[in-house]
Amino acid sequence: MTHVNILCFVAFQVNSAIDSDLPMTVKEMHGILENQRLFSFFEKHKEDFDMSIVQPEDREYIESNLSDIALAYGGERFDVENKGFCLLLAYLLELIQRNAGSQDISYDVRTSE
């Protein structure tokens, strides 16, 4: 299973794309995700994305699971209508949430007084 840290790393790269206003429609991104072509897209745009630490088994896991999410949901479920990278970020957050439930992530949210 892919560790949450790798998913967060990918999400930070996507966040940078959003900040840079890289153009991508929701429809284009949805197609990339459905067809498991995300890392091929990243490879073609190396100048914008550094995915060098993401191992092949992590790439397969991420693409497979993002494809499942894309096939099950449109952008509307995540309140995304315009920007493809926002859709990708929403799907990554969904995948992080799913992973967090299956990993031992221990922290105490209570404040001590």
In a domain, 69, yes or no: yes
Which CATH number covers residue 48? 1.20.120.600
Tell whether the model's pLDDT for residue 86 goes beyond 90.
yes
In a domain, 105, yes or no: no
Total tally of structural domains belonging to the chain: 1
Q: Which residues contact 44 (CB under 8 A, 6 or more apart)?
A: none
Largest CA distance in the chain: 52
For the full predicted model, state whether its pTM sits above 0.75: yes
pLDDT at res. 1? 60
In a domain, 58, yes or no: yes
pLDDT at res. 108? 44
Residues 22-63: pLDDT tens digits?
999 999 999 999 999 999 999 999 999 999 999 999 999 999
Lowest mean pLDDT among 59-68, 73-82, 98-107: 98-107
In a domain, 10, yes or no: yes
Full domain range(s) for residue 60: 4-100
Residue 20: both structure tokens together: 């840079």
In a domain, 112, yes or no: no
